[in-house]
Amino acid sequence: MNSNKQAFLFGFTFIALFLTSVIALIKLPGSFNQTCLIGAYFTPINVVYNAIASSMVAFILSNILEFGSNFKVNSSMLGIFTWITTTFCIPCMIPLLSFLGFSVSLSFLSYNNLWFQVASIVILSFGVYESLKLKNSKCLNGNCDI
């Protein structure tokens, strides 16, 4: 795969992920002052965070499709889970779980939102680093068309 295809794949993936996350921020409920409100997580900080996380995931995915992956790159995709949990309020979305008694554990995700955002960026940064290492090792071996 050449660099033009990788750039197109990165751009397409970034736009799709970012737009989807912004729509989720606007349309899905978030928690504000321990109240579920539609669009409560739609703040400038969360939009910037989603742009950064979307670009990191798009970069990792475009490198995976071009150069393959390894266990370290695949395990860094756990950052996607932590990214998704900070996009909307999980206890607000699933009231049945609060009836069943799971709301305490799920509210931990929404009330400690900043820590999960930091964890997501750290995990995705590890994935970007490992993806670059894999790309550089493959390019040194002559398997690179850049």
CB 134 within 8 A of CB 68: yes
| Annotated domain spans of the chain | 3-140
Within a 10 A sphere around the Cβ of 13, how many other Cβ atoms?
Answer: 19
- Report the pLDDT value the prediction gives residue 52, as an integer from 0 to 100: 92
Q: What pLDDT, on the 0 to 100 scale, is given for residue 38?
A: 81
Digits of tens for pLDDT over the chain (146 positions)? Answer: 567 888 888 899 999 999 998 898 888 777 777 677 787 788 898 899 889 999 998 988 888 887 777 777 777 777 777 777 777 776 666 665 556 665 555 565 555 677 778 888 888 888 888 888 888 877 776 666 54
Q: Are 28 and 93 in contact (CB under 8 A)?
A: yes
The strand pair at 29-32 and 35-38 is best described as antiparallel
- Distance in angstroms (rounded) separating the CA atoms of residues 117 and 121: 6
**φ/ψ (deg, to 5) at 86:** -100, 0
pLDDT score at 14: 92
Distance separating alpha carbons of residues 10 and 39, to the nearest angstrom: 28
Reported pTM = 0.78
Inter-residue contact 76 to 144 (CB < 8 Å): no
pLDDT at site 18: 92
